[in-house]
Amino acid sequence: MVRFTLGAAILSSSMLSTAYAETAGNLHSTWTNLLAEHITPINQGHSTAVDYAGFKQQEATLQTYLDKLAETTQAEFDAWSKDKQLAFLINAYNAWTVEFILTEYPDLDSIKDLGSVFNSPWDKEFIPLLGKTVSLNDIEHGLIRGSDRYNDPRIHFAVNCASIGCPALREEAYTADKLEQQLTQQAVRFLTDSSRNYIKDNNLYLSSIFKWYGEDFEAGFRGTQSIQGFLNLYVDALQLTEQQQSVLKAQKFKVKFLDYDWNLNAIR
């Protein structure tokens, strides 16, 4: 089995400093401060655990941030750069997911507990955003994935569904000026996690994220047309042998998808 290592992808502590929060922009600085205080790296930095109890104590501050997001008009949003828009949407998804968990915390074990047999928690319309009341699915699948403007599969390593199986909830807000670096770091951070992505023999074992959103990794991001083609962009981070690199480039690995852990990503 090939064990992926995170290396330089783990955030340096300086990036999580108050100084960074001050440069993140008025809109997202509160979110950065909350994340820096209540997110803890685990699993050698590949994942993070969330201090929902701490968030609960500062829920009023979180709500102030969410209110700021809600004040953004569609016209203002449309005038922004692509990176500023995408950072806004990712932050909105993540912050509202935390708030969603807080509605029942600590009396839940999974975000799925907030839904029912007939109603997905991700389809609940409770988020005031861009002049409408939307759901988490509306943000991810409509505003982000449903727009031809972004076409960046790395968003799947940035949005966080409050579950252990999810990529890490980043310890800072996403911002337009750092978005490319942040998305790259998140991708490397997730791909090098050998508990969720690894090679054994001639099989490539991947997180179910690649199964659910396979079409996004086949949509031409930086010239790639397949999951294995996308992974080939990160061959250095994956630390593959020359033989494995050749197999990956030829797309000859047999891809198998791992089970997803929907348990809450809370600090234990």
Question: In whole angstroms, what is the distance from residue 225 CA to residue 83 CA?
Answer: 23
Average pLDDT of 72-98? Answer: 98
Q: What pLDDT does residue 15 have?
A: 45
187 CA to centre of own chain: 9
Q: What pLDDT does residue 117 have?
A: 79
Assess whether pLDDT exceeds 60 at residue 18.
no
Assess whether pLDDT exceeds 70 at residue 99.
yes
Q: What pLDDT does residue 25 have?
A: 53
List, for residues 217-227, the tens digit of each pLDDT value. 999 999 999 99
Confidence bin at 1 (pLDDT 50/70/90): very low
Assess whether pLDDT exceeds 80 at residue 17.
no
Question: In whole angstroms, what is the distance from residue 212 CA to residue 207 CA?
Answer: 9
Assess whether pLDDT exceeds 80 at residue 54.
yes
Question: In whole angstroms, what is the distance from residue 158 CA to residue 188 CA?
Answer: 11
Assess whether pLDDT exceeds 70 at residue 43.
yes
254 CA to centre of own chain: 26
Average pLDDT of 206-214? Answer: 97
Confidence bin at 118 (pLDDT 50/70/90): confident
Q: What pLDDT does residue 239 have?
A: 80
pLDDT cut 90: percent of the chain above it: 84
Average pLDDT of 230-252? Answer: 91
List, for residues 154-207, the tens digit of each pLDDT value. 999 999 999 999 999 999 999 999 999 999 999 999 999 988 999 998 999 999
Cα dihedral across residues 12, 89, 27, 49: positive or negative: negative
Token pair recorded at residue 128: 């005031």
Per the prediction, the chain carries an average pLDDT of 91
Confidence bin at 12 (pLDDT 50/70/90): very low
Average pLDDT of 136-140? Answer: 98
Detail the DSSP E strand segments found in the chain.
39-42, 47-50, 127-129, 132-134, 198-200, 203-206, 254-257
Q: What pLDDT does residue 8 have?
A: 45
Does residue 47 or residue 25 have the better pLDDT?
Answer: 47
CA-based nearest residue to 186, from 38, 48, 25? 48
Q: What pLDDT does residue 155 have?
A: 98
- Please count the residues of the chain: 268
